[in-house]
Amino acid sequence: MLEAAKVDCRATLEVARGRICHRWRQRERHCRQWSNAVVSSAAKVDCDKRREAEMVVVGIGFKLSLVVQRSNELGGGGGRPHEKEGGDGGCRQMQGCWVSAVSLLTAVEGGKSNDNGGGQYRLQHQKALAGLRRINLEGLRWRVFDAKGQVLGRMASQISIVLQGKDKPTYTPYREDGDMCIVLNAKDICVTGRKLTNKFYRWHTGYVGHLKERSLKDQLAKDPTEVIRKAVFRMLPRNKLRDDRDRKLRIFSGSEHPFADRPLEPFVMPPRNVREMRPRAKRALIRAQKKAEQGNANPTAKKGDEAQVSA
């Protein structure tokens, strides 16, 4: 009976060893397939991103070589994982190499990088460069708007004028002669009054009762570029030229942009006539000042009348 138990135990161990080796060989094969897919996709990306993709592929190849090497040490050549020296630590190291390779593959497939904010920065610049091939850039000026400290509505009105080409003597309503507009520092835009809390953007999802809304303050925190885009588009006429004008408007939340090699012209905003206070408050202040002056003049007149009476 003891011998039968030993035979069953040995059979169980052999099955476990075979499963472990088969598992790591499967992972090795999958990793090779994924790396080949990344290499093929890297050949299709633009020239600006090819170098970055090649670097990522080199890192994946390095991790893959570690995985293959460790798998050969642990399960290759008919060896058994538990018979190799340091089998448990080797499994952990192999698993770490596998996780690193998978993280790199996920970064490439998702279009994001491991550094904080880098993927979002590159994605924003990729969107900014998209659609330029469909624009006839010959004879167009590159106007740069700095939104830092500017009022949202006043700046949007100037951008809409430049997009329509109304600042040119050759303006025609049915022709698209507007210039390229680059808006920087969208996160530093300003509004007047209580619009941060009282202004809402509303939309409907199509389901019953799903009317969504978002305040201007929340929208600035989520995506400040969309605030300027909506303000400009609602000042443009709704016609077939709207899509072309959309491609000519490039908005960035910060001061960095991918158009440094272009002949940029900074746009000078017209001077703003800021009134000190609203007309109603100003009239109330004038009435209060006149009333105070009359109150100061009345006591002196009363004192003079009392002196005459006593004399």
Mean pLDDT of 221-234: 95
Mean of the pLDDT values across residues 57-86?
Answer: 48
The pLDDT, as a whole number, for residue 281 is 86
Percent of the chain surpassing pLDDT 90? 40
83-112 pLDDT per residue, tens:
444 444 444 444 444 444 444 444 444 444
Mean pLDDT of the chain: 74
Alpha helices in the chain (DSSP H): 2-42, 47-75, 87-110, 118-129, 152-164, 195-198, 216-222, 224-233, 242-247, 279-310
Tell me, what DSSP letter sits at residue 154? H
pLDDT in tens, 231-258: 999 999 999 999 999 999 999 999 989 8
d(CA 34, CA 157): 50
Structure confidence by residue, pLDDT tens digits, 6-35: 555 566 556 555 655 566 666 666 656 655
Q: 177: closest CA among 141, 131, 134?
A: 141
The Cα–Cα gap between 206 and 204 comes to: 6
Query: Looking at residue 301, what is its pLDDT?
Result: 57
**pLDDT computed for residue 178 by the predictor:** 93
Contact 178/164 with Cβ under 8 angstroms?
A: yes
What is the Cα–Cα distance from 234 to 114, expressed in whole angstroms? 38
Residue 232, number of CB atoms within 10 A of its CB: 24
What is the per-residue pLDDT for 137?
86
Burial, 262: exposed, middle or buried (Cβ in 10 Å; 0-12, 13-18, 19+)?
middle
